[in-house]
Amino acid sequence: MPLDTKVAMRSGIDVNPIIVGAYTDRSGGVCPMLAAHRHGGRTAFASFARAWDKYARAGNGARPATERELRTLVAMLDASIATDEARGVDTPLADAIADHRSSQARRARREEHQAPRDTGERDRTSELRGRRGWAWLRPVRRLDDYERVLGELERAEKDPARERQPV
């Protein structure tokens, strides 16, 4: 669970009647996730709600959480918040970013030590330049060449009988 959601849940527990077995009840009780949501923790964690109800052995209906259940939840939240703050972790996103950056660094080191792959092909441009239709795809590196090729294509579309000039 993100750190800000844990902090919001901790605050929400102090000011809301906490229940087990439902999202809300008719007397104003709320589950810990709704308490967190009302205090700025805008994360939805259905897995937390299931785990909370399983821990509290929720039955078919809502009931107030016992003092023991609340003390346990508060102790776990406080420990988790302290651990995250000590590690300097703000969110799971920070972990994902760190993992991504380390994988980029590993990939760069790996590529640094690899020679370019020789495909065994040789450049036959000068040999085949005069042969009509030898390339189905030709890179164009200059704007004037690109405009010339485009103009040729437009003329060929207008007059399909016109023979294409070799380039």
117 versus 121: the higher-pLDDT residue is: 121
pLDDT at 69: 94
Query: CB atoms < 10 A from the CB of 41, how many?
Result: 25
CA–centroid distance for 125 within its chain: 44
Task: List, for residues 36-87, the tens digit of each pLDDT value.
Answer: 999 988 777 788 888 898 999 988 889 999 999 999 999 999 998 888 887 7
Written as six digits, the tokens of 82 are: 């302290």
The per-residue DSSP string of 77-143 comes to HHHHHHHHHHHT---HHHHHHHHHHHHHHHHHHHHHTPPPPP-S----HHHHTTSTT--S-----SH
Share of the chain above pLDDT 70, in %: 84
